Amino acid sequence: MKLIIPIAGRGKRVRPHSYSNPKPFLHVAGKYVIDYILKPFLLLNPEEIIIIHDRYTEESVKENLPKLYPNIKFKFAMQNHPLGTAHAIYQAKDFIKPQDDIIIVYADEILLDDITNLYELVNGYDGIIFSREVKDPENYGVLLHENNILTGLIEKPKNPSSNLINVGMYYFPEGYNFINHFVKIVLDKGENEVGEFFLTDAFINMVNEGKKILIKNVNDLDTGSVEKLLSANKILLNGSVSKDTNVTLENTQLFENVSIGKNSKLINCKVRSSIIGNDVLLEGLEIEDSIIGNNVTVKMNGKKFNLGSNSSII
């Protein structure tokens, strides 16, 4: 099995943190986002993890992933222009051989369920799309299904007949065929109205050729915005506190759902529901629902500000 993870884009909804780190290297609940993303898939022993990066994320992923996971074989492919999800996945083409099954997972998605039964689950089907139920399907691309098998996809339907949307995780036992045939058809057809190639069009191609794709509901966490990252932090910590090595607390109270990175020091602080990075110094502050990056110093009543774009203290 090979895992394909696109890690591209500027992460506009997680600024300012995404200015200095690609989204998978943001802190959440005592680890990096990528640690939680990979966790359920590592149990399936992937032979290779293929990272699709762009020019913004290239240096960071090539430098950091092998360090974090020295025992995993990583391959890297560049997506030169942001031309959509099918175009991104297609960059993995040269790494997928006949006989390879593939899992595709987007770098905002944390899967909370155990999927070690994946190979039994897919038995008889041509693929699996992982889904979740939403209360407002009219705002999403909705999965149409019959007996849990995909029949079609509608973008933002006015009268939705289904409330299932795709989570951004897929499994294809015939990975080579998926990429070289179904995804290729999408690319050969030309860009859509927004100038991009969508992976969901590949699924429609599969349905049109009589392929059976199973839709499976899962529990997942989206980490694609500051609010969602804080929410994920709460759910993953479940009330507790995570402190990395060499954290110093002086006259400081930590309430629920606090994650603190290594070498950080908090003096006269009260903190709840927050993510604090590495090498941080905080003095005299009350903090809640906050994300503070790495190497940050904030002293109460400080007058010298060195604050990057898109920061806020409100």
- DSSP characters over 193-249: TTS---HHHHHHHHHHTT--EEEEE--EEE-SSHHHHHHHHHHHHTT-EEE-TT-EE
Cβ closer to other proteins: 43 or 300?
A: 300
Among 67, 97, 135, 303, the residue binding other proteins under the rule CB under 8 A is 303
Counting beta carbons within 10 angstroms of the beta carbon of residue 272, is it exposed (0 to 12), middle (13 to 18) or buried (19 or more)? middle
Interacting residue with other proteins among 1, 13, 19, 42 (CB under 8 A): 19
Q: Is 311 in the site for other proteins (CB under 8 A)?
A: yes
Q: Which is nearer to other proteins, 248 or 295 (CB)?
A: 295
Q: Does residue 314 belong to the site contacting other proteins (CB under 8 A)?
A: yes
Residues near other proteins (CB under 8 A), total: 40
> Which residue number, 191 or 289, has a Cβ lying nearer to other proteins?
289
Work out whether 21 is an interface residue with other proteins (CB under 8 A): yes
* 265 contacts other proteins (rule: CB under 8 A): no
16 part of the interface to other proteins, by CB under 8 A: yes
Minimum Å gap between C-beta 32 and other proteins is 14
Taking the C-alpha atoms of residue 299 and residue 96, their distance in angstroms, rounded to an integer, is 52
Which of 260, 266, 310 shows the shortest CA–CA distance to 285? 266
Residues 57 and 49: their CA atoms lie apart, in Å, by 16
Residue 24 binding other proteins, by CB under 8 A:
no
Query: How many Å separate Cα 221 from the centre of its chain?
Result: 9
Distances (CA, A) of 2 to 27, 63, 64, 73, 160: 26, 21, 20, 10, 34
218 touches 113 (CB < 8 A): yes
Burial label, 207 (beta-carbon count in 10 A; 0-12, 13-18, 19+): middle
Q: Binding segment for other proteins among 29-37, 166-174, 187-195, 292-300 (CB under 8 A)?
A: 292-300
Tell me: does residue 56 bind other proteins (CB under 8 A): yes
Q: CA-CA distance, 267 to 288, in Å (whole number)?
A: 16
Q: How far is the CB of 153 from other proteins (least distance, A)?
A: 33
**12 contributes a contact to other proteins by CB under 8 A:** no
Burial class (CB in 10 A: 0-12, 13-18, 19+), 60: middle
Min. distance of Cβ 94 from other proteins in angstroms? 21
Q: Which amino acid is at 263?
A: N
By CB under 8 A, name the one of 113, 133, 209, 308 that touches other proteins: 308
Residue 234 binds other proteins (CB under 8 A): no
Using the contact rule CB under 8 A, the part of the chain among 13-21, 43-51, 63-71, 173-181 near other proteins is 13-21
291 is a site residue for other proteins (CB under 8 A)? yes
Does 263 interact with other proteins (rule: CB under 8 A)?
no
The site map against other proteins for 193-232 (x = CB under 8 A) is: ---------------------------------x------
Nearest to 172 by CA among 199, 151, 140: 199
* Residues found near other proteins in the complex (CB under 8 A): 15-17, 19-21, 55-56, 58, 226, 274, 277, 285-299, 302-314
